[in-house]
Each structure stands twice: as structure tokens, then as C-alpha cells.
Amino acid sequence: MIKKKLEILVSSEVIDEDTRSYVLKVLEYLLENKIINDVSQADVFLTHLAMADMRRKKNEAVASLDEFILSEISADPKFMHSKELWQDLEKMAEKKFEEAELDYFYLHIINLLKED
């Protein structure tokens, strides 16, 4: 599903080919390291990642998460694991993402890790 979605986003010029390649590398990493068992588990995260990568390239900001949500994320038992995993995933990106974007990534990754 995500591969088809990425193809549609590229063909409609919402994302570029470099972003598509980056997201597919992240997907491959998640599967190879058994963080997910099925591609569908990461669909929402990978779609967000693609859109975030394009925002980064266009210097567009994302709205910060509400303080309550941020406190819930940082209190989650999987928070540190999500940060460590993100450090590995971010190495595949061209450049670093802004802090507000990272909070969304942590939220998505925590949800991925809870699906185990």
C-alpha cells in the first residue's frame, strides 16, 4: 500500500523521487530490523515522513504538538526507544528535521513499537 501511495505522491508532484527513495530506505530498515512485521504497520508513519521531508526541503514549518500530548509522549515507556530508533532513521536523511517534526516522529514510532 505505501509503495503505491508513494508512487501516486510522486506522479502528482506532492513529493519528489529523492523523498520516495528515502522513505523506502526507512521502510526497508524497519522490516530488516524486525521493528515491523508488515508494511501496513508503518503506513501512517511513512506517509508523515514523506510529507515532513518535503516540508523540510521547502522550509515549511509544522505546528508544534500540544503540551499535553508532548508530556504524554515523553512519559511513555517506549519514548527512549523511539528516540534511539529515530537517530538511526535520521542518518538516512539528507538533513536534520526541526524539533516540532521530531515530536510527531516520536509519536508515530511509539505507536509502531506498541504494535509488537
CB < 8 Å & 24+ apart, contacts of 68-73: 69/107, 70/103, 73/103, 73/106, 73/107, 73/110
Q: pLDDT tens digits for 58-115?
A: 999 999 999 999 999 999 999 999 999 999 999 999 889 999 999 999 999 999 998 7
- Report the predicted TM-score, pTM, of the whole model to 2 decimal places: 0.91
Comparing CA positions, the residue from 35, 53, 57 lying closest to residue 105 is 53
Q: pLDDT band for position 52 (50/70/90)?
A: very high
CB 113, CB 54: distance < 8 Å: no
